[in-house]
Amino acid sequence: AQTVTQSQPEMSVQEAETVTLSCTYDTSESDYYLFWYKQPPSRQMILVIRQEAYKQQNATENRFSVNFQKAAKSFSLKISDSQLGDAAMYFCAYSKRGNQFYFGTGTSLTVIP
């Protein structure tokens, strides 16, 4: 069975600093994708970044980047130059063929002005 673990229920970061959110997953599949979603308070969940399992290069989207360690089954999200608008719940998700998603329990990120 696929499981996704986010071991940090809450994190905080000073504005303009860098923060890393952790995610590990368990799977026996070889072909899969990993995603980070952001859910601002009382707002819609939106896609932040995705990573293909067969690509060794880490995905990057502006201030957001991942550290993908396939052998360790680790997929962390790094947010650089944190902004107040980054405050949200962040979910790590795993997807396999058939497009079923498995989500972690989420990390609540607070950005301190």
Partner 1 sequence: DVKVTQSSRYLVKRTGEKVFLECVQDMDHENMFWYRQDPGLGLRLIYFSYDVKMKEKGDIPEGYSVSREKKERFSLILESASTNQTSMYLCASSEGQGANQPQHFGDGTRLSIL
Binding site for partner 1 (CB under 8 A): 4, 6, 9, 31-33, 35, 37, 43-47, 50, 52, 91, 95-101, 103-106
**Rounded to the nearest whole angstrom, what is the least distance from the CB of residue 15 to partner 1 in the complex?**
26
CB nearer partner 1, residue 32 or residue 75 = 32
Give the dihedral sign, CA 109/76/31/50. positive
**Rounded to the nearest whole angstrom, what is the least distance from the CB of residue 56 to partner 1 in the complex?**
16
Neighbours of 29 (CB within 10 A): 10
What's the token pair of residue 95?
Answer: 């997807």
**Rounded to the nearest whole angstrom, what is the least distance from the CB of residue 1 to partner 1 in the complex?**
10
CB nearer partner 1, residue 6 or residue 76 = 6
CB nearer partner 1, residue 64 or residue 101 = 101
What's the token pair of residue 73?
Answer: 């089954």
Distance CA 7, CA 88 (A): 16
Q: Give how far the C-alpha of residue 86 lies from the chain's centroid of Cα atoms, to the nearest Å.
A: 13
